Structure 1
Amino acid sequence: MEKGIVMTSYYHYHNGSWTKQALHVEDIRPEDITWTERISEMSVMTGNILKIETREDHEALWGSHIYRQSLGDEADHADFQFYLDRDDLILMNIDVPKMFSYTEVELLNDKSRRSAVETFYIIIKNTTHEYMAQIDIFEQKLHSILWEVKERNNIKILNQVAEADHQLLLCKTQIVTVTELFMMTEEAFGKEVEESKYYYQMKMRVERARFLINAYEEEIDALLDFENLVSSYRGNEITKTLTIFTALFAPATLLGAIWGMNFKYMPELDWKLGYLMALLLMIMVTYFIYIYLKGKGWMGNLLDNKSHHKNKFF
């Protein structure tokens, strides 16, 4: 093949039936207000690119649409290119079984006589199956995280929550693109498309996906708030515990430091019962501080074994 010559195959839906053609893009002669004037532009599009044209005598959509996106790898995705007007639907780089749920032979023998717009709705609805499956997987993961938070509260759980939130954002981005594409067909072709059952099915699919994503966003936000609450409480309990132990053993530490000095003249060193008296003094002062803290209610749940059961949140 000569350099600069691009060979492409495309599916063309016109007058209720499909045809498949393989041509050099450069050999297609552009004609005004037909798909031929966009084929060269479409052939080099990748990713999510949507364009619309609404002239007085002609309405059309064309662009590139990602129909499969991995939630773990940005580069792992697949897209197709399309052109749509009232009479023609052009598809390039498509996976027929995935988009139509039947083989290429069955597609080319399809004589359903739908309009081009209705056929496009069927395709877009089928491409959302994988998005909906990803949302279902996300739902299972979120359910697992909700129960893991009760069992343990650490950086691993927080990382799982952040990862789930990122995946939800990816799902939302994908559904936003589908929603925009759906809305653009309404803008281009007007209210007449609303009479089709395929329009209604697509509308319900988009609304269901958006409802699920919004609901899961609220759950993620609530989970993060709950995680912050549990972490804050446990952190305060740890700080309080360390403070109490410091207060209880401060007298013994102080007295031990005093009698650990190496001055030559220390009268207590000659006391016959000095050792015993020092121990008793340390115990008495520590006990007095304990009684004082408990009387003030500052001991909290530190010594309450029942409040620290492993299946409790706090």
Structure 2
Amino acid sequence: MNMIYHYFEGSWTRYQDVTDALNHLHYPWTGQMTEISQLRDNILKLETREDYESIWGSHIYYQNLEDEMDYEDFQFYLDDQHLMLMDIDVPKMLQYSEEELLRDKSKRSALDTFYIIIKSTTYSYMNQIDEFENKLHSILWEVKKRNNIKILDQVAEADHQLLLCKSQIVTVTELFMMTEEAFGKEIKESKYYHQMEARVKRARFLINAYEEEIDALLDFENLVSSYRGNEITKTLTIFTALFAPATLLGAIWGMNFKNMPELDWQYGYLIAILAMLGVTYGIFVYLKGKGWMGDLLDNKTDRKNKFF
């Protein structure tokens, strides 16, 4: 059952469903109510004529950042005199009870009331942004304490949640801009317009700021990953260079030719081992002198609070 709330001439009226509303409301737009009641998710439509403007559609006012299917939406219709809300959870969406809504006799315009409604729906978005801020702050310090694949996964998850928050703010911004397009410059005289404008600007500022922080954090993770990857590659290269003489000598030693004079050498093994150690040490001294050993030999026992 789609409960309907109709705002007209400064007061609210409640209807049990579309049929009940159609029995009491007789306006040109009431024929659209059946279509509007079937809309879901974020769908916005606009109609402007010489002497008539209206917007209607469906708007998601709550989205769980962990579960795609856990969301709440409502349907609406708005023109210069009428505001219709359908299928809403009043306490959850508006932060006050249904009785308080129906007792509202403030005599505001339909558009001003709509701004108040939409601004109320952004509370859940702003709360999610605040929760995201705390999570991001925790990740920023966790990166220094224990930077590993789990932290990178947390960064990626935070980035995904930020994109969801941004998507929600985009839909609110679009809805706000549609009211400007439909009803013209005169709406800018309203204080509720400016309150809504300030709320949208604040949300977009926060989203953009956190997006820059996430990008910087991902760049930092790429820097650390690249450095560690280079260190691993350099280590493997040095090990290969150091043990190349021993590998070569072992390969020659393993050849079973008929003439093998070293079979009669009393100190053959000792000579071979000393030769391998000498050549290996010579290569080590050469690489060290060139500075190619880097910081592989530095003392890295104290890794606490180290980025690299």
Normalised by the length of structure 1, the TM-score is: 0.90
Q: 1:8 to 1:141 in 2, by over 3 A?
A: closer
Q: Which amino acid aligns with 2:243?
A: F
Work out which of the residue numbers 263, 266, 289 in structure 2 matches 1:269: 263
- The question of 1:124 aligning with 2:109 is answered no
Q: Which residue of 1 aligns with 2:238?
A: 244
Work out which of the residue numbers 78, 92, 100 in structure 1 matches 2:94: 100
Matches of 2:86 and 2:35, distance apart in 1: 12
Work out which of the residue numbers 131, 139, 157 in structure 2 matches 1:137: 131
Q: Deviations over 1:34-86 (max 9, x none)?
A: x4132122111111111112212211111111101111222111111111112
Whether the 8 Å contact between 2:61 and 2:93 is mirrored in structure 1 is: no
Q: Deviations over 1:92-135 (max 9, x none)?
A: 11111123322111211112221111111111111111111111
Q: Gaps spanning 5+ residues in structure 2: where?
A: none
Q: Which residue of 1 aligns with 2:11?
A: 17
- Give the percent of matched residue pairs that are identical in Structure 1 and Structure 2: 74
Secondary structure, counterpart of 1:42 in structure 2: helix
Instruction: Give the alignment's Cα RMSD to 1 decimal.
Output: 2.1
Matches of 2:27 and 2:50, distance apart in 1: 14
Q: Which residue of 2 aligns with 1:228?
A: 222
- The question of 1:259 aligning with 2:257 is answered no
Q: 1:265 to 1:50 in 2, by over 3 A?
A: same
Secondary structure, counterpart of 1:305 in structure 2: coil
Matches of 2:96 and 2:210, distance apart in 1: 33
Secondary structure, counterpart of 2:129 in structure 1: helix
- The question of 1:296 aligning with 2:296 is answered no
For residues 48-87 of structure 1, the aligned pairs below 5 Å read 48-87=42-81
Q: Gaps spanning 5+ residues in structure 1: where?
A: 1-6
Q: Which residue of 2 aligns with 1:195?
A: 189
Q: 1:212 to 1:24 in 2, by over 3 A?
A: closer
Matches of 1:203 and 1:61, distance apart in 2: 18
Out of 289-298 and 53-62, give the one that drifted further. 53-62
Following TM superposition, by how much is the alpha carbon of 1:242 offset from its aligned partner in structure 2, in angstroms? 0.8
Q: Deviations over 1:154-187 (max 9, x none)?
A: 4433332222222111111111110011111112
Q: Deviations over 1:16-46 (max 9, x none)?
A: 111111245387278554x413212211111
Matches of 1:75 and 1:140, distance apart in 2: 25
Aligned residues: 307
Out of 233-242 and 301-310, give the one that drifted further. 301-310
Whether the 8 Å contact between 1:145 and 1:157 is mirrored in structure 2 is: yes
Normalised by the length of structure 2, the TM-score is: 0.92
Whether the 8 Å contact between 1:8 and 1:25 is mirrored in structure 2 is: no
For residues 134-213 of structure 1, the aligned pairs below 5 Å read 134-213=128-207
For residues 29-48 of structure 1, the aligned pairs below 5 Å read 31=26, 33=28, 35-48=29-42
Matches of 1:175 and 1:85, distance apart in 2: 23
Matches of 1:290 and 1:152, distance apart in 2: 33
Whether the 8 Å contact between 1:13 and 1:89 is mirrored in structure 2 is: yes
Secondary structure, counterpart of 1:185 in structure 2: helix
Out of 58-67 and 134-143, give the one that drifted further. 134-143
Q: Which residue of 2 aligns with 1:88?
A: 82
Q: Which residue of 2 aligns with 1:109?
A: 103
Matches of 1:307 and 1:229, distance apart in 2: 22
